[in-house]
A = this chain, B = another copy of it.
Amino acid sequence: MTTRTRVTVEPRACMADPQLDVMNFLNEAVMEFPAAVSFAPGRPREDLFDVRGHVQSLDEYVRRVAAIPHSGGADAVWQAMGQYGPTNGVCAEAIARHLRVDEGIDVDPRAIMVTVGAQEAMAILVAGLCEPERDVLLVSHPTYIGITGIARVLGVRVIPVESDDDGLDPERVERVIGALPAPARVRAVYDIPDFNNPLGTSMPVERRRALLEVCRRAGVLVIEDNPYGRYVYDHAPRPTIKSLDAEATCIYVGTFSKTLFPGLRVGYLVADQEVVSSGRTLAEELSRVKSLITVNTPPLLQAIVADALERHDGRLGPLIAEKVERCKRQRDAMLAALAAQLGDLVPTVSWNVPSGGFFLTVTLPFPFGVPELRECAKQFGVVVSPMTFFCVDGSRSNQIRLAFSYVGPDRIAAGVSRLAAFIRHRIAAGDAGAGA
């Protein structure tokens, strides 16, 4: 058979937006410079993943389920995991219990939809809630590219709301909502309050309450995305926005990618709002969209989640203690290396001190874009993410995001040393004034 290249096609015009390809770009940069230290991808280290353990534990999990009356026995339980299942999933009770004991979030399992990673939850929320061309999604800014990317594909307008050192500012949110002329309608505000991606900030509790109040009054939903909240290093975990939400203003998005392992691809959304027309929860109503995207989340992977949670009475703590401790050590190593290598350049060069999560922000006295990424990787052996990658408006050209989640302490010291060499080289070359 000949190669099939005669008919050619172009995808939709919006697909050419380079923002849609940031994740691929970062991965490719890492592959292009294999000897470089990579602070680019925000992923956990795989040496603590117990994938085989979780898979082998399924046999025992099935025995436990099969012991429940009317379960039909072990063969039936295995077979049921092979069949089509309920659109919104089968491990919602285990997740509801986890949310109650770990997060102080008390919701009916019918308000939970299990999704193929948190990303599918975002796709479902934007597709199910936002009318293209009319509805507007506010995002804390800079922001996770998965939310702005899917909004772009779905034709939903995004308005950025600039974050400060404490994350999203509710007063700014209120002003942006108030300034928007009809018939545009702000449908929701998206944020990662706990250890923001990309900034590394954590929102103070007063702001969480204020954001809820602003949005409640305006009839706007808060979408709280919380992948990193369990990775807390310097203080007690702050209450999630959802746990403070007495009036169903907030939709919560969770994931097991950073607590169990990302390849699991199991996330969820909590939408306990009542849909007036049907009397059902918003999560139940959104099952119509879920059924048209992935039909249902693979039951085998939901079983891994249910099994892991059940074995620890709903608590993730025992499962992730070592991962959190490791990530804290890596953060400490990065902060120590930054102080040692760049301390004399403060405040020309500066960085924040995240109290949890995977990321921190470095502010430079010169712009750092794709050319700098390439030069830094090729000549200096370290890959970092320009902050502009996470901006819808090309702002923050003088900042970079460093992920300390993936590289061990020794490599972190080496990588920061290389980054410092690049920064000094650029400053010496006279770039210091360009954007300082």
**A interface residues (Cβ-Cβ under 8 A, vs B):** 1-2, 4-13, 15-16, 20-21, 23-24, 41, 43, 46-47, 49, 51-52, 55, 58-59, 62, 78-85, 87, 106-107, 116-117, 119-120, 123, 127-132, 146, 149-150, 153-155, 216, 219, 221, 245-249, 261-265, 272-277, 282, 285-289, 291-301
A292 to chain B, nearest CB (A): 4
Bound CA–CA A83/B51 (angstroms): 10
Determine if A120 and B272 form an interchain contact, defined as CB atoms under 8 angstroms apart: no
Determine if A288 and B49 form an interchain contact, defined as CB atoms under 8 angstroms apart: no
Determine if A51 and B81 form an interchain contact, defined as CB atoms under 8 angstroms apart: yes
Determine if B12 and A129 form an interchain contact, defined as CB atoms under 8 angstroms apart: yes
Bound CA–CA A297/B120 (angstroms): 11
Provide the residues of chain B in CB contact with A43, threshold 8 Å: 83-84
Q: A274's contact among B5, B55, B272, B299, by CB below 8 Å, is which?
A: B5
Bound CA–CA A119/B6 (angstroms): 28
In the assembly, how many copies of this chain are there?
2
Q: Which residue of B lies closest to A131 (CB)?
A: B12
Q: A300's contact among B12, B55, B127, B288, by CB below 8 Å, is which?
A: B55
Provide the residues of chain B in CB contact with A274, threshold 8 Å: 5, 8-9
Provide the residues of chain B in CB contact with A80, threshold 8 Å: 46
Bound CA–CA A350/B130 (angstroms): 45
A40 to chain B, nearest CB (A): 12
Bound CA–CA A298/B8 (angstroms): 30
Q: Which residue of B lies closest to A7 (CB)?
A: B248
Bound CA–CA A153/B129 (angstroms): 11
Provide the residues of chain B in CB contact with A87, threshold 8 Å: 23-24
Bound CA–CA A10/B289 (angstroms): 14
Q: A10's contact among B107, B276, B295, B299, by CB below 8 Å, is which?
A: B276
Question: What are 19 pairs between A and B in contact, CB < 8 Å?
Answer: A4-B107, A7-B248, A8-B273, A8-B276, A11-B275, A16-B277, A20-B288, A23-B291, A43-B83, A46-B82, A49-B83, A51-B300, A55-B55, A83-B262, A84-B262, A127-B153, A146-B292, A263-B300, A265-B295
